[in-house]
Structure formats: C-alpha cells, structure tokens
Amino acid sequence: MITTALRHTLRARGTETAVLCHAGADTRSILAELPLRPDDLLLDLDAHPLGRPLELPRAWIRDGEAEVGLVAVLAATPTDLHRALTAAVHLPRAVHVLVALAATTGQQEPPIPASPGMGQWRDLQEMRVRRANRSGWVCELFFPNGVDTAQVVDAVVHGTRGRRRGPATAPMAVLNGPEATLWRPGDTGAHGVDAAGPVPLRRVTPVGDLALRVSGDGERPGWTDPVVPVLDRATTGADSWERIASDEHTGVRAATAARTEAASVNAVAPIDETTVNPTGFTRVGNGNLADLTLHGAHAVVREGDKDLVTVAADGTVTDVDLSRLRHLRGVRVDWSGHTGPSAAVRAVASLAAGGVPLLSGGVPAWASGLGAPLTDLITGAGDEDLRDQLRREEYSVRLRRAALRTHGQRSRWRALGAEAGIPLPREPRVSVILCTRRPEMVGFALAQIARQRGVDLEVVLTLHGFPADRPEVRSAVAAFRDTGRPLVVHEADADQVFGSVLNDSVARASGDLISKWDDDDWYGPDHLADLLLARTYSGAELVGVGQDFVYLQEVDLTVWRNRRSEAATRFIAGGTILTDRVVLEEVGGFRPLPRAIDTQLLIAVIRGGGRIYRAHGLGYVLRRTGGGHTWSEDMAFFLHNHTQQWFGWRPSALMEGEPSPLGQPATEYTGEIR
C-alpha cells in the first residue's frame, strides 16, 4: 500500500525534484525499487548528520529557501517518526508532502494533522489520510505553493497524540552530528548547527540555549560561539565491541571497563518517553519468558525459536516493539548480546520504561550508565515476582518509574542544562484541592498528602460547613505546616453547593496543575509523582487512575478489580483527577451541582476534544461505606469482575503502608461521605 502510494506520487509530481526520506528498520527496502530520477534524493534520516545542509542542485529557490515538488517521509513506527521530525529541519519546502507510517500500535489516534494556525495552510488544496495494510497510515497534503515540510511532519506527528503537545523539553537545543536526533526526538524547535558553531541567530537571538555535538572518536573542532555553551557526546557506535577490540593499548575487557566505568548516566542518549512508555501494559497470568540476547548479527528479544523484536544497532526500542512483547510474563537480559555498551543500556532502559518486567543476573561494570535505581531493581527480582499478577504489576511500575525518571528525554535535558550551567524553568507546582465536610477526617487526609514525594505541591484545604478553630482541625493543620509545605485554609458555608465550593478552592490555588483529593481514600507516596509522569508521556489533558483497589468497609474486604490501566479512557476515579488549571478554565470549571461533579468534568473535557488517560491504580485505594457517596453504586458493583480479594485492609505494596493522621490519633469516623 505504501509503495503503491509512493509510485503514484512520483508519477504525478511532473518534472520537479523529489526527496524521499526514511527512518527506522527495513524502510529503505520499501523505497529501493521506486522509479527515481537522477536529480531525486534518497535520504536516510537516521544517518544524515544534523548540521549538514542537503545538496539539491535542481531545487527551486524561493525567497532564499530551497523548494521541491515532493517530499516523502517514511517511518517504520511512531517512535521513528518522532526522530525523523527532528531531522526534518533540513528538508526543503515542498508543494506535496507525504508522511507514511509502516506500523503503529493502535494506541494512538489516526495521523490527522491540524493546521499551524498562522494562516500558512489557507491555500491547502487537498489532504488525504488512509490506512496502509493492517496498522500503517499514509497522509498526503497538496499545496499550490511550497510550505515548510518540517511543519507538516510536525502536524502529522501531533495528530497521533491529540491536540495537546504535553510539557516542553528545556533547554532549547541546537544539534550537530550523526545520532543527534536520538537526543532530541520530536522537537521541531531543535536546529542543526555546524560542528564549530556559531549558533544561528533569529533576528538578534540565538535559536538555541545549548549546543550538543554527537560524534565518534575523531577530533572535534574548537567551539566558536561565545554565548551558547556546547556539550559533546559520543555516538553509540563509538563504544561498539569492534571499536573497543581494535584499541591498540589494551585488551577488550580492560578497554571496555575503562571507557564505561567513567561514563555517567547522562552520557547515554535518552528515551523518547512520548512513545516508549507503559501505554498498552497488560496483566499477564501465565505468559512465557523471553530473552534479550544475540541471534545472528543483531540483539533480539527471542521467545523460544521466534524473534519477536530486533533491536536497532543504536539500542532503540520502539512503541511497536513494546506492543509485540505485551503478552510476555517478562524478559531475561543477556548482557553479552548487544552492539556495544551504550546500545545495551538504551535497549534495557527502553524495555523498563515500557513497563516490561526484566530479570537479570549481575550487571557488568561497562553498563554503569544504566544507573543504580534500575540496576538494583532488575538484579533484585526473581521469576517468582512475575508469576503473581499483582507482584508482576508492582514490579513493572517500579521499573517504569526508575527508567523514565533516569532516562526520559525531559530528565536528561534538564541534567544537560545543569551541566552546562543554564538556568532551567522550575518544575510545575501541584495545587491539591481537598474539600471536606468532616473535621475528623482532616488529619487523615493531610497525612496522605504530607508523604507525597518527588513533587512540588501546595494544599488548599476547604472546610465545608465548619470552622478551622476546631481542635482536631487546628492540630492537623499545625502538624502539616510543620512539614514546610504551603497550606491555604478556606472556610465555605455549609449551604454552598459542592461544585461551587471546588471552584472557590481552585481560585485560591497558585499551582500550575490542580489535583483533586478525597478525604477518606488512601494514596501511596508516589501517587502525584506517578500522575506527573503519566501527564508527560501521555500528552493527555487530564490524567488519573481507576478504582483498581476498593476497601469495602461494611464487610471489611479489599477487592483488586480487573481494570484496564495505562490507556486512554472515559472514566477515572474522581479523587485522583490531575489537570492543568487552563484545562479547567477551558471547560468552565466544575459545574455548580451537589453531586456527580467529577463525571461532569470528564464529560466536559471529552466534549472539548481533550483526552483522559488512566495510569496504574496500585497507589490508590477507594474506601466505600454504607452510603452517602456522591457516586452511588451498591457493593455488588465493586465485587463484580474482580481479580483478587482479601479480608481486611490489604492494599498494594506500592501504598507503603498507612500514615498516622496528622495532629491526632487514628479514630473511627461517621457522617456523610462524598
């Protein structure tokens, strides 16, 4: 299908020059048999060094820019298309742009682009989006005059993620050299730069704040830009076993150790968390174990005698690769079967970021770039941890946390910026909105918030119908303030409708993000940090978790329900909502209703074209008593379709126990429950 579409476009382009680009495994073969002319260009975007302009002698020159009749970009997977987007900065303008995806996971939206919004596409003549085979896509756009090709590719890429782009990566970067796109995938703001500099100016301002040069072992030229600092990194091929073995001074083992023990985590190209992440994770009861090992000339993930995934030479694992491993119980890591140390680290970190449970013996010294958190996890797990569904998912969550926080693109570039001495924007602050009618629950709820880690937060505590000078409230508030975290206390009239109370609480918040919190549920210490991760990799307008764990207080029973997680959804638990305050503004805030407030907010987000993402629910326990909830379902609803159940309060291990209420001993409570 893709080959046919490309043949048609080549025949229809007239006498104009065509530029055909490819990225990812096996894509060159699709282009190899096409009828190209001598002045056409076949371009490997993975191999072309950033900073080197294309040579197009037959291109038109309009307003000082090269323009051709056709630019086609073929990517094997969305992960490869993100990488190609960064390289697209060198592509010429075109009147006909074709973007093709050979395979997708099915977790993303169709690649339907949205116009840039500044009038650049007002003369668009035609657009076609159609499937290619079972899981591929082809998107074509036709213009009477040339348009910025990178902008078109960017629109297609973000069409697969919905209207929201997610948090930006800072600092702004300029790149040079082969494999530079590995360091900044999916960023049209990244520019290519000459190896010696200087950084180009846009009017009077450099187009980037930090330059990164990626090269082999050859001598690098001196850096000439006095304003923009530069960092240097090696390609994954620079520490390949062949290069290490050819070292004239030492043997293979000694050279490998010398080169890798001195390397830090930040010397390894990061993971593109927008595509390589836990989305699509499935609970597996009795799946097989596969092996990350060497088969032939390539590292592969092999199940029995079948290769499920062939790992790229640079260690890249794609979103489509991860989808092919979801049925497995786990993957054993054989450290001998990789292109080189950096590639091995990237492959293992990518599998972990995708939530694939990993087992490993001792991690060799040359893989120190993996980082201590991941190393400790994969060497401390055993097969017994993967045979139980709950323990397997708990282990998967710990792996994905460690991998995304250590090797995610945003984390890596913040570390690079700090290394170069560049001031960085602060991380977003979360305003936790806690509204309660029960003074006896204030200490319990604040204790859950006080132990949140890895996040900058404030609390807006709204006392609905009672004053702040009640003894149990006063002591809990004082104990929370002793932690040093900001707390705003607001007293609302008892007869004020609940939705209006929540809006007043949001108005008193100063954070970038709003998190809704219930006063009687349990939250693990990484609850907010996990939601922030999900917000980054999902790009969703609103994130939360499901009611995976429910404690039925009437019968003293904990139920673990069979709920799908790590997926786009229409419903999450209202007490776990996390969204940007601008999203609340866009949907009109909470409706002024006494109940069903959360459901109405979710409906408004979806109606406005936004997406809701459900992360794992192991760090949250919903409490249900006999009645009085704003969400009214009887006990049978929660007992239906469960995976496991236990007598008593039995949460996931990720809850890390139950904190003591702040300012007062734990007490029984009665009263209306929202």
* Bridge partners, residue 191, by sequence: 174
Which is more confidently placed, 498 or 259?
Answer: 498
pLDDT at residue 250, rounded to an integer: 40
Single-letter residue type at 91: L
Phi and psi at residue 92, in whole multiples of 5°?
-75, 165
Which of 358, 383, 418 terminates a domain? The answer is: 418
Does one domain contain both 298 and 209? no
Say what the pTM is. 0.94
pLDDT at residue 674, rounded to an integer: 37
For residues 206-211, average pLDDT: 97
User: Is 222 domain-assigned?
Assistant: yes
Instruction: Report which DSSP code applies to 108.
Output: S
Does one domain contain both 366 and 337? yes
Q: Is the peptide bond before 171 cis (omega within 30 degrees of 0)?
A: yes
Please provide the average confidence, as pLDDT, over all residues in the chain.
Answer: 91
- pLDDT per residue as tens digits for the range 108-164: 889 999 888 888 999 999 999 999 988 999 999 999 999 999 999 999 998 888 777
Please check the confidence at residue 267 and state whether its pLDDT lies above 50. Answer: yes
- pLDDT per residue as tens digits for the range 25-36: 988 888 888 888
Phi and psi at residue 613, in whole multiples of 5°?
-125, 135
* Among the listed residues 434, 510, 506, the one whose alpha carbon sits nearest the alpha carbon of residue 476: 434
pLDDT at residue 33, rounded to an integer: 82
pLDDT at residue 168, rounded to an integer: 87
Q: Are 347 and 271 spatial neighbours (Cβ–Cβ below 8 Å)? A: no
Percent of the chain with pLDDT over 90: 77
Half-sphere exposure of 445 (CA within 13 A, CB side): 29
For residues 608-635, average pLDDT: 80
- Left, alpha or beta for 177 (phi > 0: left; psi -120 to 50: alpha)? left
Would the CA dihedral through 367, 368, 373, 378 be positive or negative?
Answer: positive
Which is more confidently placed, 243 or 489?
Answer: 489
- pLDDT per residue as tens digits for the range 81-108: 999 999 999 999 999 999 999 999 988 8
Q: Are 352 and 381 spatial neighbours (Cβ–Cβ below 8 Å)? A: no
User: Is 624 domain-assigned?
Assistant: no
* Residues contacting residue 4 through CB under 8 Å, at least 6 positions apart: none
Which of 418, 448, 479 terminates a domain? The answer is: 418
Q: What's the 3-state SS for 73-118?
A: EEECCHHHHHHHHHHHHHCCEEEEEEEEECCCCCCCCCCCCCCCCC
CB atoms within 10 A of CB 185: 28
CATH number, domain at 541?
A: 3.90.550.10
Helix (H, G, I), strand (E, B) or coil at 674: coil
pLDDT at residue 665, rounded to an integer: 58
User: Is 474 domain-assigned?
Assistant: yes
Does one domain contain both 29 and 85? yes
Instruction: Report which DSSP code applies to 92.
Output: P
Domain count, the chain: 4
- pLDDT per residue as tens digits for the range 429-446: 999 999 999 999 999 999
Does one domain contain both 591 and 462? yes
Q: Are 74 and 30 spatial neighbours (Cβ–Cβ below 8 Å)? A: yes
User: Is 643 domain-assigned?
Assistant: no
Give the residue ranges of DSSP H helices in 20-91: 28-32, 78-87
Tell me the two tokens of residue 81: 């298309």
- Left, alpha or beta for 86 (phi > 0: left; psi -120 to 50: alpha)? alpha
Estimate the share of the chain in helix, then strand, then coil, as percent rounded to the nearest 5: 30, 25, 45
pLDDT at residue 242, rounded to an integer: 67
Single-letter residue type at 359: L
User: Is 306 domain-assigned?
Assistant: yes
Does one domain contain both 9 and 134? yes
CATH number, domain at 158?
A: 3.40.50
pLDDT band (50, 70, 90) for residue 291: very high
For residues 213-217, average pLDDT: 89
User: Is 16 domain-assigned?
Assistant: yes
pLDDT at residue 657, rounded to an integer: 93
Does one domain contain both 456 and 577? yes
For residues 202-212, average pLDDT: 95
pLDDT band (50, 70, 90) for residue 297: confident
Tell me the two tokens of residue 118: 């500044």
Tell me the two tokens of residue 11: 């025949």
* Bridge partners, residue 626, by sequence: none
User: Is 47 domain-assigned?
Assistant: yes
Please check the confidence at residue 631 and state whether its pLDDT lies above 70. Answer: no
- For 97-123, give one letter per residue: b (16+ CB within 10 A) or e: bbbbbbbbbebbeebebeeeeeeebee
Tell me the two tokens of residue 10: 């080549």
**Alpha-carbon dihedral angle through residues 51, 56, 57, 62, given to the nearest 10 degrees:** -90
C-alpha–C-alpha distance, residues 434 and 445, integer Å: 8
pLDDT at residue 670, rounded to an integer: 45
C-alpha–C-alpha distance, residues 255 and 247, integer Å: 7
- In the block, which residue shows the tokens 């010398």? 258
- In the block, which residue shows the tokens 């097989």? 288
Instruction: For the sheet with 173-176, list strands across it.
Output: 191-192, 173-176, 210-215, 230-234
Which of 384, 418, 452 terminates a domain? The answer is: 418
pLDDT at residue 432, rounded to an integer: 98
User: Is 234 domain-assigned?
Assistant: yes
Residue 234 vs residues 108, 176, 180, 213: alpha-carbon distances, Å: 33, 11, 10, 8
Does one domain contain both 214 and 291? no
Does one domain contain both 465 and 597? yes
Does one domain contain both 540 and 446? yes
Ordered DSSP codes for 168-236: PPSS-EEEEBTTHHHHSTT-TT-EE--TT--PPEETTEES-SEEEEEE-SSPPPPP--SSS-EEEEE-G
Does one domain contain both 467 and 571? yes
Give the residue ranges of DSSP H helices in 278-408: 319-323, 341-353, 372-380, 384-387, 389-407
* Residues contacting residue 497 through CB under 8 Å, at least 6 positions apart: 592, 593, 594
Does one domain contain both 598 and 571? yes
- pLDDT per residue as tens digits for the range 333-360: 999 877 788 999 999 999 999 999 999 9
**In which domain, by residue range, is 372 found?**
268-418
pLDDT at residue 672, rounded to an integer: 41
C-alpha–C-alpha distance, residues 674 and 669, integer Å: 14
pLDDT band (50, 70, 90) for residue 246: low
Instruction: Report which DSSP code applies to 626.
Output: S
* Residues contacting residue 38 through CB under 8 Å, at least 6 positions apart: none
pLDDT at residue 111, rounded to an integer: 92
Does one domain contain both 93 and 44? yes
